[in-house]
Structure 1
Amino acid sequence: MCEANAYMVKDGEETLLMESVDLVEPEADGTFRLVGIFGDQITIKGKIRRMNLVDHRILFEP
């Protein structure tokens, strides 16, 4: 399995945004659309801080 969990990092704390993310797609308005393995979707505003695919983690920051 290649999916990862997405987190928002703010003030040194990580908050889970979505589990089992299969697709991260940048949108024209500067947001990111995250799509899960079952088709669930969220849109977040922020920037990618780090992607560690070995550990299955995507970190965003505001």
Structure 2
Amino acid sequence: MDVRTLAKLLRETEQQHGAYEASAPEHHWSDWYAAYMTARQNGRGPEEAATDAAQYMQTLPR
């Protein structure tokens, strides 16, 4: 992945995370970002990736 593409994906991830963070329990942003970005790199759309990331967050210990 080139720098320009990665920067675009990071900006998208930041925007999607904002919606999640507004109602989520305390968490570390990097866990959500990693799950979201992995889903996007695997061909999932933005909404699907956000759902995948939220589901991933539920698997982490609190």
Greater percentage in helix: 2
Greater percentage in strand: 1
Interval of TM-score (by shorter of Structure 1 and Structure 2): under 0.3
The normalised TM-score by structure 1 is 0.21
The normalised TM-score by structure 2 is 0.21
